[in-house]
């Protein structure tokens, strides 16, 4: 069973996402901020990370960089979930080694396809 | 060449040419005219002197001839025998007569020619018989001597005649000799000769008169052999020893009294002005000359005067032209410099105007033009600056707007994601959704829809406030009563979270002129905000009458806000997920505080925040009372 880490500051959305992916047969972990997200990544080593990039104080991008710079965690594929229109931020995200990028509101089928693709690439 | 010159030299050259050329022409004309007139008058003068001297010489010779004729015609002398057989008695008588005549001539000179006779007189009278024997002579030693008789031939041909200069064979002295033949009383045959002898330099007494001849002028006589027979003014003992071969003598002997050369070189090789007179009887030439230098001295003086005055005038003209040129050119140069300055953008340098001519009009209008240009440019710059500022402002606003739009879209996307995700989950048949899960998903979706609605309402409020389109329905309100009501509405919520809700104000009502609904909105926003963060403790709402204004405060015992975040509290979409926040899941729109701030300011008040981490937060705002209740 693949392990997916969801990092999303909106508690409701995080819950809905958890339900969505659990019913698709994934083991789902949830973090509500970048700090706990990073620590969960290191302790649990999930197979995929779904990361909300728009967290307070630029937490999303900071965590993404942290993961992609660490030798241990950089192989973990990251799917960025973004509601932002900020072109600078989008540019920074796309150039930080992210594996996939999905715009909110996400389509569940689409999200699952992305997850399968990155898992397939990883293996 | 002239075209390439600057205005100054051009002007200078033109004026100099215009003024100096006529001056030079007039001066030159005057000089040459005067010179020619002077030459004419000098020649005239010389000619008069020359004529007079020649006349004197003629008269002198004629007088001698008359004297000779008088003697030869006297009775006793005509008694001389044509064959030369003269008695001693006769020759004695003749001797006595000669003595008496000689004495007479010496004693009583002709008054007309006084100076001639007195000065020169006759040195010797001699009577010869037909054979040339001297029968009577004022020099008695010569009586009885026989003379070589060459005179007779001339005598026969011409009658009484002067002989020219003869050397006395006995004394060796040279004499100017005049002779006349003697004819016998009865036979009328030549029977002897009368000779009157004068000193050789006798003519000199005539020519040496130098009245009106100046320093270098002289009159002299030349015989047909071109020998000088009077003294020269410059050469000693010139008589019969100085040959005069000049153009003047040549012309004189060749063509007689026709006008000879006027300007030539004399016997000394000097340039002279001269005139000549030919005496045909004597075959002499009387010449009067003057050194050209002296003759033209007045011309030279005149020339020097012209040069001096002309030079002075030219210097004066140059100075005046220079000054005039400067007076004309200076304003032009100033205009040029000023226009260059204007071209370089220096508008403040004006031209000094100190006259009333056209150039100063030009300068004045130029100054005015520069002034207008300066003010126009300044205005343009000012306007440009304003435009630039406006442009910057617009840019900023534009950026803010796009940021705002981006934020709004983000705020919309999250609740939409929740709704979409929930609906997908509910629709998924494969998922084993329990009733509990379904209810939760539906409630979450409804919450998200409320969030969206709130967001839209808040956005509209905010945009109305910012555009100034919101209308305040002001009325006198007792703020204490209002606060009490609001506190009551929050009481149940506060009780749920075990938070103490406190109101604090004086018992007297505080009347204030405000829009009641907007006041309620402000308090709900502020109290709601506190409720989100306060975990335990209290929320206190208070109002204080400060005279002109009322100060309201919402204080809580929440976690507080850090100093960096304080500045951002009133910004739009600023939300703080404090780790100590009581209920992180209660999402606001991030616009509440912005709206509160806008509403307070709309009422003419101020809002600020005081906070300390770990102690609590105070939102304080003031409202002017406007109408105070009595």
Q: How far apart are CA B561 and CA B532, in angstroms?
A: 13
Q: How far apart are CA B538 and CA B536, in angstroms?
A: 7
A58 touches chain B (CB under 8 A): no
- Which residues, other chains included, contact B14 with Cβ-Cβ below 8 Å and sequence gap of 6+? none
- Is B585's CB within 8 Å of A104's CB? no
Task: Find chain A residues with C-beta within 8 A of B586's C-beta.
Answer: none
Of B107 and B113, which is predicted with more confidence?
B107
Give me the interface pTM, i.e. the ipTM: 0.92
Q: How far apart are CA B541 and CA B500, in angstroms?
A: 11
Task: Find chain B residues with C-beta within 8 A of A13's C-beta.
Answer: 414, 417-418, 421
| Count of beta carbons in the 10 Å neighbourhood of residue B234 | 13
Q: Which two structure tokens, joined as six digits, stand for A100? A: 């996939």
B410 touches chain A (CB under 8 A): yes
- Is A19's CB within 8 Å of B441's CB? yes
What integer pLDDT is reported at residue B119 of this predicted model? 40
Cα-Cα-Cα-Cα dihedral of B495, B501, B507, B508, to 10°? -120
Q: How far apart are CA A48 and CA A17, in angstroms?
A: 14
Instruction: Say yes or no to pLDDT of B348 above 80.
Output: no
Each residue of B316-345: pLDDT tens digit? 988 988 888 888 888 888 888 888 888 888
- Is A9's CB within 8 Å of B577's CB? yes
3-state secondary structure B82-109: CCCCCCHHHHHHHHHHHHHHHHHHHHCC
Closest to B339 measured CA to CA, from B362, B321, B308, B313: B362
- Is B431's CB within 8 Å of A23's CB? yes
What integer pLDDT is reported at residue B4 of this predicted model? 85
Mean pLDDT of all residues in chain B?
Answer: 83
- Is B409's CB within 8 Å of A85's CB? yes
- Is A105's CB within 8 Å of B420's CB? yes
B577 touches chain A (CB under 8 A): yes
Each residue of B397-444: pLDDT tens digit? 888 888 888 778 888 888 999 999 999 999 888 878 889 989 999 999
Task: Find chain B residues with C-beta within 8 A of A34's C-beta.
Answer: none
- Which residues, other chains included, contact B606 with Cβ-Cβ below 8 Å and sequence gap of 6+? B600, B621, B622
Share of chain B above pLDDT 70, in %: 91
Range picked from B147-161, B354-368, B578-592 for highest mean pLDDT: B354-368
B388 touches chain A (CB under 8 A): no
Per-residue pLDDT band for B577 (boundaries 50, 70, 90) equals low
What integer pLDDT is reported at residue B70 of this predicted model? 86
């Amino acid at each position: 069973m693949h392990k997916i880490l969801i990092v999303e500051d909106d508690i409701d959305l995080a819950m809905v996402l958890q339900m969505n992916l659990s019913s698709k047969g994934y083991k789902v972990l949830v973090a509500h901020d970048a700090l706990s997200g990073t620590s969960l990544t290191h302790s649990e080593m999930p197979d995929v990370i779904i990361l909300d990039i728009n967290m307070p104080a630029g937490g999303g991008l900071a965590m993404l960089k942290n993961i992609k710079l660490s030798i241990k965690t950089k192989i973990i594929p990251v799917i960025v979930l973004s509601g932002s229109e900020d072109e600078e931020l989008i540019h920074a995200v796309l150039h930080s080694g992210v594996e996939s990028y999905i715009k909110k509101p996400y389509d569940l089928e689409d999200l699952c396809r992305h997850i399968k693709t990155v898992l397939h690439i990883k293996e | 060449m002239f075209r390439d010159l600057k205005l100054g030299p051009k002007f200078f050259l033109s004026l100099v040419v215009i003024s100096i050329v006529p001056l030079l022409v007039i001066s030159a004309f005057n000089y040459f005219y005067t010179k020619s007139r002077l030459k004419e008058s000098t020649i005239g003068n010389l000619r008069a002197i020359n004529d007079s001297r020649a006349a004197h010489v003629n008269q002198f010779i004629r007088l001698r001839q008359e004297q000779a004729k008088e003697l030869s015609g006297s009775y006793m002398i005509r008694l001389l025998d044509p064959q030369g057989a003269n008695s001693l008695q006769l020759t004695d008588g003749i001797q006595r007569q000669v003595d008496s005549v000689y004495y007479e001539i010496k004693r009583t000179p002709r008054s007309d020619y006084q100076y001639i006779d007195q000065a020169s007189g006759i040195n010797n009278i001699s009577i010869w018989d037909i054979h040339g024997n001297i029968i009577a002579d004022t020099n008695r030693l010569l009586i009885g001597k026989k003379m070589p008789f060459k005179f007779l031939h001339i005598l026969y041909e011409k009658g009484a005649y002067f002989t020219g200069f003869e050397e006395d064979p006995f004394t060796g002295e040279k004499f100017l000799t005049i002779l006349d033949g003697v004819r016998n009383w009865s036979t009328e045959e030549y029977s002897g000769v009368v000779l009157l002898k004068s000193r050789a330099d006798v003519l000199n007494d005539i020519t040496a008169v130098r009245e009106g001849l100046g320093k270098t002028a002289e009159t002299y006589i030349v015989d047909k052999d071109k020998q000088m027979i009077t003294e020269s003014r410059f050469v000693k003992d010139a008589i019969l020893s100085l040959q005069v071969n000049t153009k003047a003598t040549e012309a004189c002997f060749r063509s007689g009294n026709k006008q000879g050369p006027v300007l030539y070189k004399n016997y000394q090789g000097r340039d002279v002005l001269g005139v000549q007179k030919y005496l045909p009887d004597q075959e002499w030439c009387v010449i009067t000359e003057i050194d050209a230098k002296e003759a033209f001295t007045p011309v030279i003086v005149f020339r020097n005067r012209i040069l001096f005055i002309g030079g002075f005038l030219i210097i004066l003209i140059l100075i005046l032209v220079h000054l005039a040129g400067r007076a004309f050119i200076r304003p032009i140069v100033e205009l040029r410099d000023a226009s260059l300055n204007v071209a370089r953008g220096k508008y403040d340098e004006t031209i000094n105007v100190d006259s009333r001519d056209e150039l100063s009009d030009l300068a004045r209008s130029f100054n005015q033009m520069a002034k207008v240009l300066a003010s126009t440019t300044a205005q343009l710059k000012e306007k440009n600056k304003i435009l630039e500022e406006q442009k910057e402002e617009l840019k900023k606003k534009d950026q803010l707007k796009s940021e705002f739009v981006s934020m709004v879209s983000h705020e919309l996307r999250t609740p939409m994601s929740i709704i979409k995700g929930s609906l997908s989950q509910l629709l998924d048949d494969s998922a084993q959704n329990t009733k509990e899960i379904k209810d939760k998903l539906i409630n979450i979706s409804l919450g998200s829809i409320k969030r969206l609605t709130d967001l839209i309402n808040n956005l509209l409020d905010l945009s109305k406030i910012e555009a100034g389109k919101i209308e305040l329905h002001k009325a006198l309100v007792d703020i204490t009563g209002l606060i009490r009501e609001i506190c009551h509405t929050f009481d149940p919520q506060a009780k749920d979270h075990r938070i103490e809700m406190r109101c604090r104000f004086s018992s007297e009502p505080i009347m204030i002129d405000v829009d009641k609904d907007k006041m309620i909105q402000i308090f709900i926003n502020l109290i709601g905000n506190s409720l989100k963060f306060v975990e335990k403790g209290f929320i206190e709402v208070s109002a204080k009458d400060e005279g002109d204004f009322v100060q309201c405060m919402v204080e809580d015992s929440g976690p507080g806000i850090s100093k960096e975040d304080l500045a951002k509290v009133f910004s739009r979409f600023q939300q703080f997920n404090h780790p100590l926040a009581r209920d992180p899941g209660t999402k606001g729109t991030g616009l509440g505080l912005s709206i509160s701030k806008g509403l307070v300011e709309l009422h003419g008040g101020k809002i600020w925040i005081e906070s300390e981490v770990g102690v609590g937060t105070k939102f304080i705002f003031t409202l002017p009372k406007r109408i105070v209740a009595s």
